[in-house]
Chains A and B, each alone.
Chain A
Amino acid sequence: MKDFILPDADFGTPARRSDRTVTLTIDGFEVTVPEGTSVMRAAAELGIEIPKLCATDSVEPIGSCRLCLVEIEGRRGTPASCTTPVAPGMKVHTQTPKIARMRRGVMELYISDHPLDCLTCSANGDCQLQDMAGAVGLRDVRYTPGANHFETRQNGEANPRYIEKDASNPYFTYDPAKCIACYRCVRACEEVQGTFALTVEGRGFEARISTGASDFLSSDCVSCGACVQACPTATLQEKSVIEMGTPDRAVVTTCAYCGVGCNFRAEMKGDQLVRMVPSKDGKANRGHSCVKGRFAYGYATHPDRILNPMIRDSIHDPWREVTWEEAFEFTARKFRGIQEKHGVRAIGGITSSRCTNEETFLVQKLIRQVFGNNNVDTCARVCHSPTGYGLKTTLGTSAGTQDFDSVEHADVVLIIGANPTDGHPVFASRLKKRLRQGAQLIVADPRRIDLVRGPHVRAAHHLPLRPGTNVALLTAMAHVIVTEGLTDDDFIRERCEMDAYQDWAGFVAEDRHSPEATEALTGVPAEEVRKAARLYATGGNAAIYYGLGVTEHSQGSTTVMAIANLAMATGNIGRPGVGVNPLRGQNNVQGSCDMGSFPHELPGYRHVHDAEVRGMYEKLWNVTISDEPGLRIPNMLDAAVHGTFKGIYIQGEDILQSDPDTKHVASGLAAMECVVVHDLFLNETANYAHVFLPGSTFLEKDGTFTNAERRINRVRRVMAPLNGFADWEVTQHLANAMGAGWSYAHPSEIMAEIAATTPTFAGVSYGLLDREGSVQWPCNDAAPTGTPVMHEGGFVRGKGLFVVTDYVPTDERTGPRYPLLLTTGRILSQYNVGAQTRRTQNSIWHDEDRLEIHPHDAETRGIAEGDWVRLASRSGETTLRATLSDRVSPGVVYTTFHHPETQANVVTSDFSDWATNCPEYKVTAVQVALSNGPSEWQKTYSERARAARRILPAAE
């Protein structure tokens, strides 16, 4: 790691875990370390830094550079300290005249094939080669210039060994002239990222780093940045550093993309962000990153950002820029006017899973205290609301059971309805690392996702189920476990409700649930289901990770409960390496749920029927809290069409693009009198808005995000908000314009209110987070530094509850007119509706949504690769280009939904989960046919969007 400017200690080799310790002496100092530790790391722990080039603590050592040589008493020669494990009583000398001479000799050889353009080099001041030359006291180079890799011309001719810089990746360059062939990038790609995109071609002097393709962009590289971080020279270098120079300070903060919640060091120069580097201390990411968090932050300063508030009386008018005061006053007047005319329940709001806990808390407080109702919802409605319902019902807590470290202890991993290498890439890398160590993988997914078969990873079983048959498949697995006697009876007896268990066991044991009986429904060969079930039940620590392919179905909640049933029946809950782990989509979707964003729950998942909890808030907030559940997002839209819901405050969510059945969302929004959009950009929803309040990015505010493992991570402000206010300040001003009288001066005060009122957050404070880095809730007197693994001694609900999971087929059926099933998903480089990533160079990897269709289905329709096709469902139709792929089964088509032009949600249906109204995005019956171009809806929509985005020039 090039971190000499802003050091983040590099111990040279990875930490070892061992129950046994070894004591040795290094340069006369005694040190005790876990068995298996390298001499280099033991020295580093003493504060003795042994010179090194090819070693870094993110990858295993290979002992290639010979710079870290040491002498050990009683041993011959000068072993490399990076590959020499410590031994009891060992006496090591890291500095002797002999070693000094040898190190200088090594450096001299390195420098003889390195351009000495340090002053103008992009790594100047942040180059390990430069530092090591200094450290070993290299003073002259005796070798005359001969064959080398860095001179463009030699003896008047082109140097055949010179390879030009590769700038094909938008974010970093590869300059072979500066390469010292230390293999750090190759090892980082293998060990940290698990992509194996890099290799070394040639031997000895001819050894060159290679992607195996013509350049980085066209190679297997996923642009995670691990190689750039590992490179000790300017060979792999961020373009932002080349452009701006080295940073001068670092602030640890948390990524605002997915639910993994990686910690980053935002490396700054003044208020300019030079680069984002994953933090080694990050407990979710352990020093790793993906292309989004590491590089795709350019949206924060994109010219599309709206920085001034705007209002308009009608959505057919152009926008008019106004002062903040005018915008708040206008909104407050409209909202109060609506309430006077249509009742207190006629307005509501949506909290943002993109914003901080503190901001989310304030939005729900605004709705409950100031609006006087419970009409608050959040985007979890359309993703993981079934997780909340299902896990609360069975286990007692609306959250995953483990931390991400837990995967290091898993022996069998079942992935269902998730595509971690694209959706949760840093977790995927950690998972792949465990799989390479021998853990077994079961993938249940209609598509052959990358994890099914990749470099050094192969799923033991891929169960390519028909979309919409999750419950049938999981119940069939339960059938095998129960009927073949693979249950953990002691666990069940001790930890679960026996009556419910017996009822469930009897249910799943019925013949109609056997894999053979359900094969016709799921399309998965019975024998594979049996083998997978046996492996899950008997393969050691078994962990389930799942995503929206589980929840976004009309039986989403039922599937979550089926997952919990499996884990309980096999005793795979309550210790490291096992558990039920929802991979949550948004950076703070867990937090937004925790903060009381659901219309039936106050913060901490306490129902609005609970008079005691209401009483506490009533006393604190000095109002009466409604004991009536409010409207959920789809209900709000229905009520709007019906004329009883007229105003909405939407913070950081683009419901028009992200919610299903776009036409229905549009008519709901169009029916409202005051739509307030609080966002970074004029998103699609803003086309129907009357007020636009500019938002701030995660770089511009303080707060916390809670990731998928319940980890509360700090978000730290590194620059002033370009729009003038952090989002929590905007909400506070709006509340005050409506008479709230709030006076929060800093988000830490909001967190204090959260901690004081929410038992699971009782111990959380900014002081604690600064000390610990992060904590996982519950964090209170019983668990002062948080809870990595839940349900350890017993379930939060007392006894675990088995719930019978009858398979009910969705009413979204295929038929002669709509014979194919559409399912949707994400891609690595883009994020959800793409509002952020589309405004970065990530679009180079994915600039349009494509329809994946099996060659067989394409053939019968006359569709060839790249053809424009019409995708039609009962709800609507859109057009996009097709790509032929056997990753989907015949009968199934797939697309991403990152681009507004695609309008994938024009096609999705209005069906939803029975318990939570979570929409059924993952199953839509469709027909696909060749097309000439955009559908009528796409054309009218894009005209309408253009008109709706007009902004009047400023008055003066």
Chain B
Amino acid sequence: MTPEKLTYMANQIATAFARQPEDAAVTAIADHIDAFWDPRMRAQLIELAEAGAPDLSPRVAHAARRIRRPEAA
């Protein structure tokens, strides 16, 4: 997936939980991504977050640290 699309999707999730307080929102984002994202998408997101991708919302970047690390297939 293109980094732009992945970033967009992750940020959409963050927006959906925007009203929640920081910690709850970060947990909700991480849980949602753990529950619905295939490992290669999660790996790519973690990679983007670790590279400090500027377009990722701060909460997604934060959540990326809590996302389940996928094992290599």
Contacts and interface: CB of A to CB of B under 8 A. Distances in A.
Nearest to A636: B38
Interface residues of A, number: 32
Contacts of A557: 16
Given A599-B38, A806-B18, A639 B13 contact: no
A915 B1 contact: no
B65 interface: no
Interface in B4-35: 5, 9, 12-13, 15-16, 18-19, 32, 34-35
Given A642-B1, A917-B9, A345 B39 contact: yes
A639 B38 CA distance: 10
A804 B19 contact: yes
B73 to A, nearest CB: 4
A235 interface: no
A629 interface: yes
A631 B19 contact: no
A628 B70 contact: yes
B48 interface: no
Interface string A904-944: 00000010101111000000000000000000000000000
B38 A631 contact: yes
A460 interface: no
Contact of A808 (B15, B38, B41): B15
Nearest to A806: B19
A344 B73 contact: yes
B41 A635 contact: yes
Contact of A345 (B2, B12, B32, B73): B73
Interface in A628-649: 628-632, 635, 638-639, 641-642, 644
Interface in A610-632: 628-632
A397 interface: no
A639 B19 contact: no
Contact of A915 (B13, B19, B38): B13
Contacts of B19: 507, 804, 806
A638 B5 contact: yes
B12 A554 contact: yes
A343 B73 CA distance: 6
A600 interface: yes
Contacts of B1: 635, 638-639, 641-642
Nearest to B39: A628
A914 B15 contact: yes
Dominant secondary structure of chain B at its interface with chain A: helix
The bracket for how many chain B residues form the interface is 20 to 34
B73 A629 contact: no
Nearest to B18: A806
B38 A628 contact: yes
Contacts of B12: 554, 914
A607 interface: yes
Interface string B36-73: 11111100000000000000000000000000001001
Nearest to A641: B1
Contacts of A912: 9
Given A607-B35, A609-B35, A629-B35, A914 B70 contact: no
* Most chain A CB within a 10 A radius of its CB, from B19, B40, B41: B40
Contacts of A916: 36
A600 B36 contact: yes
B32 A629 contact: no
A682 B36 CA distance: 32
Nearest to A638: B1
A558 B16 contact: yes
Contacts of A630: 38
Contact of B36 (A345, A629, A638, A642): A629
Nearest to A808: B15
Nearest to B13: A914
Contact of B38 (A343, A507, A635, A914): A635
Nearest to B33: A629
A915 B32 contact: yes
Nearest to B12: A914
A627 B34 CA distance: 11
Nearest to A631: B38
Interface in A534-579: 554, 557-558
Contact of A629 (B15, B18, B37): B37
Interface string A495-528: 0000000000001000000000000000000000
* Most chain B CB within a 10 A radius of its CB, from A345, A609, A912, A914: A914
A609 B40 CA distance: 17
B13 A644 contact: no
Contacts of A554: 12
B26 to A, nearest CB: 16
Contacts of B36: 600, 629, 632, 915-916
A639 B35 contact: no
A80 to B, nearest CB: 63
A558 B5 CA distance: 21
* Most chain A CB within a 10 A radius of its CB, from B13, B16, B18: B16
Contacts of A507: 19
Contacts of B41: 631, 635
A639 B40 contact: yes
Interface in A185-231: none
Nearest to A811: B8
A599 B35 CA distance: 10
Interface in A354-383: 375
B46 to A, nearest CB: 14
Nearest to B1: A638
Interface string A395-435: 00000000000000000000000000000000000000000
A916 B40 CA distance: 17
Contacts of A917: 9
A635 B36 CA distance: 11
A347 to B, nearest CB: 11
Interface in A756-812: 804, 806, 808
Contacts of A915: 13, 16, 32, 36
Given A599-B38, A607-B35, A915-B32, A910 B13 contact: no
A600 B35 contact: yes
B13 A345 contact: no
Contacts of B18: 806
* Most chain B CB within a 10 A radius of its CB, from A558, A629, A910: A629
Contact of B40 (A558, A644, A806, A910): A644
Given A343-B73, A635-B1, A914-B15, A629 B38 contact: yes
Contacts of B39: 345, 628
A808 B39 CA distance: 28
17 contacts: A345-B38, A345-B40, A629-B35, A629-B36, A631-B38, A638-B1, A638-B2, A638-B5, A639-B38, A642-B1, A804-B19, A806-B16, A808-B16, A912-B9, A914-B12, A914-B13, A914-B16
Given A345-B40, A632-B38, 15 more contacts: A343-B73, A344-B73, A345-B39, A609-B34, A628-B70, A629-B36, A630-B38, A631-B40, A641-B1, A804-B19, A806-B16, A914-B15, A915-B13, A915-B16, A917-B9
Interface of A: 343-345, 375, 507, 554, 557-558, 599-600, 607, 609, 628-632, 635, 638-639, 641-642, 644, 804, 806, 808, 910, 912, 914-917
4 pairs of A and B residues whose beta carbons are closest in the complex: A914-B12, A638-B1, A343-B73, A345-B73
